[in-house]
Amino acid sequence: MSKFYLIGKISQDLMQRMQNDPSADRYASTKKVTEAAGLKLISYDWVRGRFDVISCVEGEYEQAVALKIAFKNSGLMDDLMIHEVINYNKAFTNAANAANSVIKPGK
């Protein structure tokens, strides 16, 4: 099981809906669709900046993609990025090993 951060920008439609009903429970709604995709919702927050929402989920990559597809097709999100948490020590160890095999032209 992997951990993912989904970072999204809401659509104009959702922005208008939230303004019309500011007490709407987006956490409950997001949790429902997240679980329907087979993921576990760890956190869900609205944030300031270029993007509007960030959530942390656990599951498989294909499930995270399914969640992205469902949200994008709903018209509620204009953009939704998926970022998988990695083991950076393992990644850099693999990079160091691969670097030993790099052959530069002319050598």
Would 39 be classed as within a structural domain? yes
d(CA 102, CA 70): 41
End-to-end CA distance of the chain: 43
Would 80 be classed as within a structural domain? yes
Contact between 5 and 56 under an 8 Å Cβ cutoff? The reply is yes
Question: What range does the domain containing 82 cover?
Answer: 2-99
Domain containing residue 13: CATH number: 3.30.70.1060
Entry field: residues in the chain? 107
pTM for the model: 0.86
Number of domains in the chain: 1
Would 17 be classed as within a structural domain? yes
Within 8 A by CB and 6+ apart from 78, the residues are 8, 9, 10, 11, 12
pLDDT digits (tens, 9 = 90+) for 61-106: 999 999 999 999 999 999 999 999 999 999 999 999 999 898 888 8
Would 106 be classed as within a structural domain? no
